[in-house]
Amino acid sequence: MGATTTQKDEQIIRDRARAMAEAVAAKDPDRTAGFYTEDGVFLWPGTPLAEGRTAIRAAWDGFMKIPGFDLDFWPVRVAVAEGGDMALEVGAFRLMGQEGKYIVTWTKSGDEWMIAADAPSVNS
């Protein structure tokens, strides 16, 4: 895999992260959950493990119903594995005045990058 392919995939992941942030801002749990693989996991601190797209959708739906829910996030670094089928995104977020960081593992299925694991952490 050449540098051009890696750069292209990094940009695709950044674009997907921005599109997901837009889905979250729109408080659309269906569209948000659609960024995860069918067997993806969401590890929000202080909550049970959300495993699978249905559970992830339910978790996002619950968060989005919290009065004043406001979340924005952005990638700080994206690294695509040499094999071109996995990537790591490290980023930062702001949730209702609190700041945090996250790590996301992306997997490539065909031509589409999907989230396999999403693990945010609130700064205290």
The pLDDT value recorded for residue 3 is 59
**Per-residue pLDDT tens digits for 12-68:** 999 999 999 999 999 999 999 999 999 999 998 889 999 999 999 999 999 999 999
For the chain, the domains span 3-122
Fold of the domain built from segment(s) 3-122: Nuclear Transport Factor 2; Chain: A, (3.10.450)
Whole-angstrom distance, CA of residue 37 vs CA of residue 52: 8
Is 121 within 8 Å of 102 (Cβ atoms)? yes
Beta strands in the chain (DSSP E): 36-42, 50-51, 71-80, 86-95, 98-109, 112-122
pLDDT of residue 2 exceeding 60, the answer is no
**Per-residue pLDDT tens digits for 3-18:** 577 899 999 999 999 9
The counts of H helices and E strands in the chain are: 3, 6
**Per-residue pLDDT tens digits for 64-103:** 999 999 999 999 999 999 999 999 999 999 999 899 999 9
Q: Please, which residues have CB within 8 angstroms of residue 51's CB and are 6 or more apart in sequence?
A: 39, 40, 41
The pLDDT value recorded for residue 109 is 86
Whole-angstrom distance, CA of residue 52 vs CA of residue 108: 17
